[in-house]
Amino acid sequence: MKISQHAYLQYALHVEIEYEQALDEGRIIAPKLEEEYAQIKALDLWDPQREKLAAGFLDEMEKMAIRVDYPYAEPSDLPGILAAKPSEYNSEAVPVSREKLTDKIYGAWLARCAGCLLGHPIEGWQRERILGLLKETGNLPIRYYISSEIDSSIAEKYGVKNTPGSYGNDSVSWINNVKHMVEDDDMNYTIIGLAIVEQYGFDFTPDDVAEAWLRYLPILRTCTAERIAYRNLLNLMDPPRSASYRNSYREWIGAQIRADLFGYVNPGNPEKAAEMAWRDASISHVKNGIYGEMWVAAMLASAAVTDDLESIVLAGLRQIPEKCRMAEHIVRVMDWKRKGDGFDEAVARIREEYDENNVHHWCHAVSNAMIVAAALLYGEGDLEATLGMAVVPGFDTDCNGATAGSVLGMRNGASALPDKWIAPLNDKIRSGVEGFGIVPLSDLANRTVRLIEQNPYVCMK
């Protein structure tokens, strides 16, 4: 078994990200730690001393206090989050139509796959490269999935290759290589969410989530915050400590992509959807990393009972702290849309604040939540437009396409989704979750509906 030498670097790779993360959180970095940070950065990545110093640096950074003038209130515990939510809103569950339920749930599964598949082969690409390929292949605005069957000079220019894909997929997921939805972490987590609720019920605990990961999810299927949390769990750290111990990725997008199943099974009840999402997120994330999952789950629960996209985005915001960075930034996107600013202008403003060349910005929950919000609001209910807007800004393309697609699929229902975006899936998905393999999407949707019918927190009509 060949092991990458990066596997031996547990902490040396995380120092710069931890420094930025601490600044984001408003931490006061002591002069001694500033000096230590400079010392660590000056060392070669493979110097054993860097690894040793990095571990201590992460521990000390966690102890640093928050500055008194920090303008945000960002708890990670559920009681704290509930106390920090906007105070004036109706928290009662809205009845959901039994007649439309199957169509909406199937639509959410399908459109989540479609958005993920669109963004999957260009994940990690910078915006200039994405736009260049789309323009030169006549696919901007996006009208269809991205193919590798293009002029050879264009393929060479943009590095379009048919090589083995990520997660053990046979090839990169250009649409001409696809026979069903490919495996991706975005979809693995939706499936494991289904397994969690099926096995542990609607009142599962964070410990149940941790057990399910260890039972069903191979560690090499995890990334960033999830990989760190997984390692902490293996070292017998229980949640929520598993989320914070030496985890520089604690506010990245990982939890935000795990929200969907908890929204699916709580149609009409955003509050319960968000609360279940908290239980899932708290094993690997803190603060805005948690809020991202709660926001998405609540939006999905709302999308089952309303068509108004601004109301859907607001439904998510009402479940997270009013004075947090995520809420502030999503509200900005909403304000731009209300004032009549165009989508391109909104993207330019997002990119002014977040630099795609900075991995901490590229994969952060807040930057990507802004893109999802913009895609939903400016897409105005059209799946094709929404998926394109979720992907063309760059950043985490497959995650944002999946989330925006999921919300639109729930809102519109499967029967209203354009066939050209759905047919290539062939109603199948490949999963890396133990016990699933290649499974019909319609089966996953039907299992989800059966859970909803057992859910005591959902009102049916």
- In this structure, are residues 297 and 263 in contact, taking their beta carbons and an 8 Å threshold? yes
Other CB atoms within a 10 A radius of the CB of residue 370 amount to 26
Q: Supply 202's token pair.
A: 């609607």
Q: Residues 6 or more apart from 309 whose CB is under 8 A from it? A: 376, 377, 379, 380, 381, 411
Reduce the DSSP state of residue 201 to 3 states and report it.
coil
- Rounded CA-CA distance 176/207 in Å is 41
Tell me phi and psi for residue 69, to 5 degrees.
-95, 15
By the 10 Å C-beta count (0-12 exposed, 13-18 middle, 19+ buried), 20 is classed as: middle
Q: What is the DSSP string of 216-256?
A: H--GGG--HHHHHHHHHHHTTPPTTHHHHTT-TTTTBTTTG
Reduce the DSSP state of residue 178 to 3 states and report it.
coil
- Rounded CA-CA distance 349/189 in Å is 31
Give me the residue label for tokens 């604690």: 250
Pick from 74, 169, 158: which is nearest to 120 by CA?
Answer: 169
Q: Flag whether 398 is marked binding.
A: yes
Q: Flag whether 238 is marked binding.
A: no
Residues in the chain: 461
Q: Residues 6 or more apart from 219 whose CB is under 8 A from it? A: 227, 230, 231
Q: Residues 6 or more apart from 115 whose CB is under 8 A from it? A: 387, 390, 391, 398, 400, 401, 402, 403, 404, 405, 406
Other CB atoms within a 10 A radius of the CB of residue 122 amount to 24
Q: Where are the alpha helices (DSSP H) in 12-142?
A: 15-24, 31-42, 48-63, 78-84, 98-119, 127-136
Q: Supply 278's token pair.
A: 């908290």
Tell me phi and psi for residue 96, to 5 degrees.
-110, 145
Reduce the DSSP state of residue 321 to 3 states and report it.
coil
Pick from 214, 124, 182: which is nearest to 434 by CA?
Answer: 214
Q: Supply 129's token pair.
A: 């490269």
Residue ranges for the binding site? 396, 398
Residue ranges for the binding site for Mg(2+)? 396, 398
